Structure 1
Amino acid sequence: MVHIVLGYDGSPAAEAGLAWVADRAARGRVTVELVTVTNMLRSDYAQTAATLEEGSRRLKDVAGGIDVETHWRDGSMPNTLIDQAESADLLVIGVTQSHPVRTALKGWIPARTAARAKVPTVLVPEGWTPHEHAVMVGVDDDPSSDAAILYAAHEATDLGVPLRLVHAWQMPVPTVDGAVALLASPLEIKNAHRKLLEEAGQRVLEAYPELGVEAVLVGDNPASALLARAERTSLLVLGTHHRGLWAGAALGSVAQDILFQVPCPVCVVPNPGAD
C-alpha cells in the first residue's frame, strides 16, 4: 500500500495534482491524504473544509474505492507540508508553470519543497494529461542519482513503458599545476562518461531484467539534455542530496528552468544516504 500526500487547495494546479494521483491510484493500491496548509488569521476554515471534501469526492469518483483522508494544518509553506508528508511514501503538488513568481508568492516554491522533502516528490504541471511515453531519469556523475534511477525503473515497470537514462557531459575546465595544464582528451572524457552510463543501465537490468532501457549520452549541459527529450516523456525523475536539486549538475536557476518548462510531471527523489 502506497501512502500519498497531496497538497491541495482547489486551484487549477492542485487539480492537476489530483488528476495525477487518481491515475496513479488506478495502477495499484494507494491511500491518499489531501492536505491544505492554512493560516489561523487569514484562512476561511469552512471554505477550506468544503474544498477538501469536494476534492475527496472527485478523487473517489475517479479512482473507485480509494481510501482518502482530508486535513488542514496551520503553518507556513513549504515546511508544514513537508512535515505532514514525512511518513508518506510520496508527496504530490501542482505547479503553475506560466506564473512561477505567483506560485512562489503563494508559498509553494516547488524547487525548495522538492529539494527539502524526505520522500519522493512529484510536481505536476497545470493542465497535465496522462501519456504512455517513456520514463526519463537524469544520471549524475555522483551517487545522488542512484536512488532516482531505481525509482524511475520501478515507475517505468509499473507503467509498462521503457526507461530512458540520460547522462550529459561536457569537457572540464583545464586544471593548472604550475605551468602544466592537465586535461584528458575529449575521447577519454567521453568514454569515461559512457562507462558511467553503461554501469547505470546494468544496475537497472539486474533489478528489472524485463524492462526496456534506452541509454542516451549527450554532449550538452544537463538541463538542455533533459528539456530536449521531455516532450515524449511521461515522468521525469531527478535525484537530489538536499544541497540543491541535482547538485553538481543542475543548480539553482537551472533546476527552476527544468521545473517550469517541462510538459511532464517531475519527480525528485532524495538520496537516502544524504544528510
Structure 2
Amino acid sequence: MNGPVVVGVDGSPSSMTAVEVAAREAALRGVGLRLVHAFGWPAAHVPPGAPWNPTGPGLRELIDGPLTEAERRARAAAPGIEVSRDVVVGEPVMVLEIESRTAPLVVVGSRGLSRFGSLLLGSTAGHLAAHAACPVLVVRGRTQPAGPVLLAVDGSPASRGAVEFAFAQASLHGMDLMALHAWHTRTERAYDGPADPPFVTYDEDRLRDEEERVLTEALGGLGEKYPDVAVDRRLVRGRIRHTLVEATAEAGLVVVGARGLGGFGGLLLGSVSQAVLHHAHCPVVVVRSGEE
C-alpha cells in the first residue's frame, strides 16, 4: 500500500513516542504520515439535557494541543515528510481499525490515556493488534531499542505474512534478522498414530530434525529475495512464550503473527502474541494473515 503510515494520537506520553517512531517509519517507506485523534461521545461528562458542541472552542483547544505537539515531534523526527492530521468522532479502536484498511502500517503506544492506569497494555493496542487489516506496531519497552529484528517462527500458514514483513523491515532499516523457533518436548507431534504412548517415548534427535525443518521451510525463498539481510537462525528448546520474551531483551523490534498453531482457532490473537505484547522489552509488530 502507498497510503500514509497512520498513528493514533491521544496526548499521552506513550502516543507521542509512537508519533516519532511512526514518522521515521513513514520516511523510510517514502510515504506520508497521518495523525489521527479519535474521541467518543462524552455522555459521561455532559449533564443530562445540556448541549454539546463538538466544534466549541474549549474542545477544539483540547484536541488541537496534542495534535500540534504531535506534528512538531513528527517533523523533528523525520524532517521533510508530509504530515496530515484528522479528528474523528468514534471509539479509537474502531476508528483506527477503519484507518488500517488503507494504511501500510498503524502505530500506537502501548498505554494511552485511561482511568485504568495500571494496565500494562492499553485496550486500543490489544484490540487493534487482533483486528487491524495491516500490520500494527505497538511502541513499548526500551526508549531507544537497538539490535536485530526478532522474528517469532511457528511454522503455521497464518504466520507467513509476519515472516515476509520481518524480512522487509530488516532490509528497510539495514538491520540483521534473528529468526527464532522455540520448541518443547511436551508439545511434540505424534509420529505414527494414536497408538504411540504419549509422553513416554520420543526420539529427541528426530524431533529436533522436524523442528529444524519447520524453521527452514518458514524462511524458504526470502533469503534470496532479501540478500542484504543477514539471518541468524535460532532453534531453541524451551517454553515458547518465555523464550521469545527473553529474546526481546537483545532485539530492536519483534515481529509475531496474530495467531499461530493452537487449539483455539476462533481466537484472533494467540497466547504467544499476547504475551509478547504485554512483556516484550522492545517494540512489537503484530501481522495478521488474510487466512484468518
TM-score tier after normalising by the smaller chain length: 0.7 to 0.9
Q: Which of residues 225, 231, 250 in structure 1 aligns to 2:243?
A: 225
Return closer, same or farther for 1:6/1:174 CA change in 2, 3 Å cut-off: closer
* Matching of residues 157-236 of structure 1 within 5 Å: 157-171=171-185, 172=187, 181=197, 184-236=202-254
Amino acid at match of 1:70: R
SS of the residue corresponding to residue 96 of structure 1 reads coil
User: What residue is the counterpart of 1:268 in the other structure?
Assistant: 286
Is 1:13 aligned with 2:14?
Answer: yes
User: What residue is the counterpart of 1:3 in the other structure?
Assistant: 4
Amino acid at match of 1:144: A
Runs of 5+ unmatched residues, structure 2: 46-53
Q: Residue deviations 1:116-169, cap 9 Å, x none?
A: 1110000001662252x1101111131111111111011111111111111111
Amino acid at match of 1:123: V
SS of the residue corresponding to residue 27 of structure 1 reads helix
Is 1:239 aligned with 2:254?
Answer: no
SS of the residue corresponding to residue 61 of structure 2 reads helix
User: What residue is the counterpart of 1:50 in the other structure?
Assistant: 65
Is 1:140 aligned with 2:154?
Answer: yes
1:247 shift after superposition: 4.9
Tell me which structure has the larger Cα radius of gyration: 2
Runs of 5+ unmatched residues, structure 1: none
Tell me if the contact between 1:166 and 1:225 (Cα under 8 Å) persists in the aligned partners.
no
Deviates more, 1:39-48 or 1:114-123: 39-48
SS of the residue corresponding to residue 199 of structure 1 reads helix
- Please, what is the CA RMSD of the aligned residues? 3.0
Tell me if the contact between 1:201 and 1:215 (Cα under 8 Å) persists in the aligned partners.
no
Q: Residue deviations 1:180-234, cap 9 Å, x none?
A: 5266422212111101112233422121123211111111232112112111211
Return closer, same or farther for 1:88/1:174 CA change in 2, 3 Å cut-off: closer
Amino acid at match of 1:163: L
Structure whose residues are more often strand by fraction: 1
Is 1:94 aligned with 2:109?
Answer: yes
* Matching of residues 16-165 of structure 1 within 5 Å: 16-41=17-42, 42=45, 44-96=59-111, 102=117, 108-125=123-140, 128-131=143-146, 133-165=147-179
Q: Residue deviations 1:101-121, cap 9 Å, x none?
A: 537699634222101111000
TM-score (norm 2): 0.81
Q: Residue deviations 1:31-60, cap 9 Å, x none?
A: 111111112325834311222122112212
SS of the residue corresponding to residue 128 of structure 1 reads coil
Measured in 2, the distance between the counterparts of 1:170 and 1:187 equals 13
Measured in 1, the distance between the counterparts of 2:145 and 2:194 equals 56
TM-score (norm 1): 0.85
Measured in 2, the distance between the counterparts of 1:19 and 1:256 equals 24
Measured in 2, the distance between the counterparts of 1:27 and 1:71 equals 22
Deviates more, 1:253-262 or 1:162-171: 253-262
User: What residue is the counterpart of 2:49 in the other structure?
Assistant: none
1:2 shift after superposition: 5.4
